[in-house]
A and B are shown apart, each in its own frame.
Chain A
C-alpha cells in the first residue's frame, strides 16, 4: 500500500449554510506525520470525522489504509485509532477500566487485553494513577490516557484531533515528544489537526493548510515556507535612516518589500543568508552605521497569510464572531 490515506473531492454541507468541506482531495504517505492546519471552523474536524467514519460526506470518496470509509466503515474502524478533540475517557472510571472497556470494543479480551493495558499504562507513565478515577487526573494525564486508548488496537493510522488544545506549555511539549516517538518507533501514520503554527512546524513532515473547507496549500513545512516570498531581513541602524538608506537598498538586487521605520529596516530576500553581506556592505559604503542584524525564515504565519489571503488570527476571530 502506497498511501495510508487518500481522499478525492470530499464535500459536506451542514444546514443551513455551512460548507464544511468544499472539495478536499489529498494523499498521505504511509509512515509519516501529516498535519492539517487551519483556524477554527476551517473544516479540519469535519475532514477528520469523515476519514474516521464518524460521519459521511455528501459526496466524494476516501480510503484509509486502503479501505473505503463509506463502503466498509467497520473495517476502517478496526484499523485506525482515534483521539478526539474532547476527552474520550469516562471520568467516573479509572484509567485502567477505561483502557479495558476500550479494548473490549475492539474485541481484545482476556490475558491479551490485560497485558496490553499494562503496557499502555507503563508507556504513558500512568502506572501510579492507573486505579484512580480519571476525574482526578490533570489535563496532561487525561490526554495521555486518550492517546493510550487510541493506540490500544495497534492502529495503522492514528488520528489526533487537536491533541494539545487546552494543555499547559509543559504538558504540550511532553505530548509532542510522545507523538514524535510514536512515529519513529512504530512507523505508524499519524494524522494530526492543529491550529497551532508551532505544533505543525515542529511535528509534521507534511502539511495541508485548510481554509473555508478547502486545502489552500500542501507540502512540507519547509517547502511551504520557501513558497512565501523569502526570508525576512531585519537591520537596526544606529541613527534613524531615511531616504538615503532606502536609496541604497533599492539598488541591491533581489531585495524586496523594503520598509524603513525609524532606525528599523525590514526587507525580504529569497536567500536571506547570502544577501546579508551585500546589504551590509552597501550600507557601510554610504557610512550608515549598523547596530544589529537578523535574518529569519518565514514562519507558518507568513505561509498562512500568503495562501489563505488573511492572517491566521483574523480568520480565527472571524469564526468566533460567526459561531
Chain B
C-alpha cells in the first residue's frame, strides 16, 4: 500500500518534469508523428515487393509503436544520473522510502509516456487509412505489449544510469542498442524479406517479440497463442530487469 503510494508519487514527479518543459513535451508529441510519416513514405515501396502482403501502413503502425517504446523509455537512466548529480538520489536513499518505488515510478512514467505517444500514432494511422482488424481489444493489447517492453528498457536504462553516473555513459550504451535491436526486428520489414541470419536473430530479440505480438493483436486475425506467449515472456523480462536495477541500487550504495 505504502509502496504503491510512493511509486505513484515518484511517477507524478517524473510527469511534472515532462509537463514543465514545453520543448520536451513538444518533442514527445511530434516524434511519433514524424516517424510514422517518415518511415511510411520511405518504405512505401516495400509493399510492392513480391511476397509482401497487406498495406504498408497496416504493417508499419505496430512497428512504430514498439520502436517508440524502445526509444522513449531508453532515456529513463538520464533521470537517475540527474538525481545522483543533484543530490536528490542521496536524499531519497536516506529516507525510509521503499527502494523499488524509485525505479518503479520512473518505469511507470516511461510506460505512460509511451502510451500517450501510441495513442497519437493510432489516431494518425487511422487518418492514413490503417485498418485495425483487432479492434479496440487488439489495440489495447498492443499498448500493453508496448508498455511491457518500455518497462524492460526503462529499468535497464535506469540501471545503466546508476552504474555509469554520467550522461555520456547512458547516451552511449542506450544508442548502441537502440538501432540494432530495432532493425533486427520485423518492425519495418516483413520477416521473409530479411536476410536469413537476421531472421534467426529476430527470434531472440525482445523488440521483435513485442512487434509480432502487437501486430498480431492489433492488425491481423489475432493469434492469441502467440500473443499470450509473448506477453508472458515480456512480463518475465520486465521482472528480471527490475531485479537487475535493484542490484544496481545496491552496488551504487556500496560505492557511496
Contact among B9, B21, B94, B97 with A84 in the assembled complex (CB-CB below 8 Å): B94
Q: Decide if A149 touches B13 in the complex (CB within 8 Å).
A: no
Please name the residue on chain A nearest to B85 by beta carbon: A86
Complex interface residues of chain A between 81 and 104 (CB less than 8 A to chain B): 82, 84-93, 97, 101-102, 104
A53 to B20, CA, bound (A): 33
Asked if A124 CB lies within 8 Å of chain B CBs, one says: no
Which DSSP category, helix, strand, loop or mixed, fits chain A's interface? Answer: loop
Q: Decide if A82 touches B91 in the complex (CB within 8 Å).
A: yes
Q: Decide if B20 touches A88 in the complex (CB within 8 Å).
A: no
Which residues on B sit within 8 Å (CB–CB) of A82? 90-91, 94-95
Asked if B5 CB lies within 8 Å of chain A CBs, one says: yes
Q: Decide if B16 touches A105 in the complex (CB within 8 Å).
A: no
Residue-wise, chain B 7-19 has the 8 Å CB interface mask toward A (1 for contact) of: 0011001001100
Q: Decide if B94 touches A86 in the complex (CB within 8 Å).
A: no
Sorted from nearest, which 4 A-B pairs have the closest CB atoms?
Answer: A86-B87, A88-B91, A105-B97, A82-B94
Q: Decide if B88 touches A89 in the complex (CB within 8 Å).
A: yes
Q: Decide if A55 touches B253 in the complex (CB within 8 Å).
A: yes
A149 to B90, CA, bound (A): 13
Q: Decide if B87 touches A88 in the complex (CB within 8 Å).
A: yes
Q: Decide if A53 touches B94 in the complex (CB within 8 Å).
A: yes
Q: Decide if B9 touches A77 in the complex (CB within 8 Å).
A: no
Starting from the known contacts A55-B255, A84-B91, A107-B96, 6 additional A-B residue pairs (CB-CB under 8 Å) come to A74-B96, A82-B90, A87-B87, A89-B88, A92-B21, A105-B96
Contact among B21, B85, B88, B256 with A88 in the assembled complex (CB-CB below 8 Å): B88
Name A's B-contacting residues (CB within 8 A).
14, 49, 52-56, 74, 77-78, 80, 82, 84-93, 97, 101-102, 104-107, 109, 133, 149
Please name the residue on chain A nearest to B10 by beta carbon: A101
A271 to B87, CA, bound (A): 47
**Given A85-B87, A87-B87, A105-B96, are A56 and B16 neighbors across the interface (CB < 8 Å)?**
no
A102 to B9, CA, bound (A): 10
**Given A56-B254, A104-B6, A105-B95, are A86 and B90 neighbors across the interface (CB < 8 Å)?**
yes
With a 10 A CB-CB cut-off, give which of B13, B17, B20, B96 has the most chain A CB atoms. B96
Name B's A-contacting residues (CB within 8 A).
2, 5-6, 9-10, 13, 16-17, 20-21, 85-88, 90-97, 253-256
Chain B nearest CB from A311 CB (Å) reads: 30
Q: Decide if B86 touches A84 in the complex (CB within 8 Å).
A: no
Q: Decide if A54 touches B256 in the complex (CB within 8 Å).
A: yes
Chain A nearest CB from B19 CB (Å) reads: 10
A106 to B5, CA, bound (A): 11
Chain A nearest CB from B249 CB (Å) reads: 12
Contact among B13, B96, B256 with A49 in the assembled complex (CB-CB below 8 Å): B256
Chain A nearest CB from B155 CB (Å) reads: 21
With a 10 A CB-CB cut-off, give which of A56, A80, A84 has the most chain B CB atoms. A84
Contact among B5, B85, B92, B254 with A55 in the assembled complex (CB-CB below 8 Å): B254
Contact among A77, A85, A92, A109 with B95 in the assembled complex (CB-CB below 8 Å): A77
Chain A nearest CB from B22 CB (Å) reads: 13
A84 to B21, CA, bound (A): 27
Q: Decide if A54 touches B86 in the complex (CB within 8 Å).
A: no
**Given A93-B16, A101-B13, are A54 and B90 neighbors across the interface (CB < 8 Å)?**
yes
Chain A nearest CB from B207 CB (Å) reads: 31
Which residues on A sit within 8 Å (CB–CB) of B93? 54
**Given A54-B256, A97-B16, are A77 and B96 neighbors across the interface (CB < 8 Å)?**
yes
Contact among A78, A104, A149 with B9 in the assembled complex (CB-CB below 8 Å): A104
Please name the residue on chain A nearest to B19 by beta carbon: A92
Q: Decide if B94 touches A101 in the complex (CB within 8 Å).
A: no
Please name the residue on chain A nearest to B20 by beta carbon: A92
**Given A55-B256, A109-B5, are A91 and B96 neighbors across the interface (CB < 8 Å)?**
no
